[in-house]
Amino acid sequence: MEHPLLDIDRIDQEPDLYLHNVGDVFAVFDEEIQDSGNISYGIQTEGERYFVKTAGYPDNPDPYLSHAERVSMLRNAVHLRQGCGYHTLPTLHQVVESPTGPLLVYEWVNGELVRTDAATREQPQSTFQRFRGLPSKEILDVLDQVYELHYQLARKGWIAVDFYDGCMIYDFNQQEFHVIDLDLYRDAPFVNEMGRMFGSTRFMAPEEFELGARIDERTNVFTMGRTAAVFLSDGTLDREPFRGSDAQYEVIRRACRDDRSERFDLMGEFYRAWGQARRE
């Protein structure tokens, strides 16, 4: 019997209608959850759960990106995922074409989105604070995975764009970590044509605010350093709140230099320095 998501590559209906017809849609991630214009679904069918991402409605005038641009970003995500099999990326089972663009059918991963909106971020019960409150070993294990993933992507020519805690899902019970929403990642290097690029200021390098600036692996190095500063410290680069070793602190401090020439030149250089610091 044909599986309604895994054994087809095209549908004639709009995604929302089709998904509601072939399974139990138990979650919808739309403009109430995020502002990209994409609409994603949690659906159970044939006894299994899946995460299905779409470009949303073509006539929605609110998102910053047009529907055509959102479709292009989804195809970009497919290209990236098909070229990188790192275990923190959810499995992409199928791409189904529809009248309004592709449906990306991913495995459903358990856990909670680490990102919390600014209004609740400082509340102790928020996912963000619960994650930051984990033992440093657990956070270091997550950082190791983030860094290895971006090292592997850099080797394939990909530069992270818009990586932040909204890309991180953590299962507190199983201590399992996944990275999602890499739609905006780009071939390296490229020129900042936006001025203020997409992303969270807590993770972004200075050149991501500068029109005409070069965006390359040094930019990713900065973002990786900021990830440790956000989760293993208090968001600053002060030594006292940093819950890692002196060697780890020095790697992160160098990664986050405002002057690009003072950072690690490549993700591989950063990754090896971090690995050495973890062993000391």
What CATH number does the domain containing 21 carry?
3.30.200.20
Q: Is the domain of 153 the same as that of 273?
A: yes
For residue 118, is pLDDT > 90? no
Q: Is the domain of 66 the same as that of 165?
A: no
- CB count, 10 Å around CB of 62? 9
How confident is the model at residue 56, as a pLDDT? 93
Q: What is the CATH number of the domain that holds 252?
A: 1.10.510.10
Those residues whose C-beta lies under 8 Å from the C-beta of residue 150, and which sit 6 or more positions away, are 160, 163, 220, 224, 267
- Span 178-222, pLDDT tens digits: 999 999 999 999 999 999 999 999 999 999 999 999 999 999 999
- Give the whole-number percent of the chain exceeding pLDDT 90: 91
Question: What pTM, to 2 d.p., does this model score?
Answer: 0.95
How confident is the model at residue 130, as a pLDDT? 97
Tell me which of 56, 89, 107 is where a domain ends. 107
Q: Is the domain of 149 the same as that of 245?
A: yes
Q: Is the domain of 33 the same as that of 120?
A: no
Tell me which of 107, 124, 158 is where a domain ends. 107
How confident is the model at residue 15, as a pLDDT? 96
Q: Is the domain of 142 the same as that of 217?
A: yes
Measured between alpha carbons, how far is 147 from 259 in angstroms, rounded to an integer?
A: 21
- Which has the closest alpha carbon to 60: 42, 34, 83? 34
Measured between alpha carbons, how far is 23 from 44 in angstroms, rounded to an integer?
A: 6
Q: Which domain holds residue 100?
A: 15-107
How confident is the model at residue 36, as a pLDDT? 81
- Give the whole-number percent of the chain exceeding pLDDT 70: 99
Measured between alpha carbons, how far is 217 from 264 in angstroms, rounded to an integer?
A: 9
For residue 32, is pLDDT > 70? no
Query: Is 50 a domain residue?
Result: yes
- Span 171-180, pLDDT tens digits: 999 999 999 9
Q: Is the domain of 125 the same as that of 100?
A: no
Q: Is the domain of 117 the same as that of 255?
A: yes
Confidence of residue 59 (pLDDT cuts 50, 70, 90): confident
- Span 138-148, pLDDT tens digits: 999 999 999 99
Domain count, the chain: 2
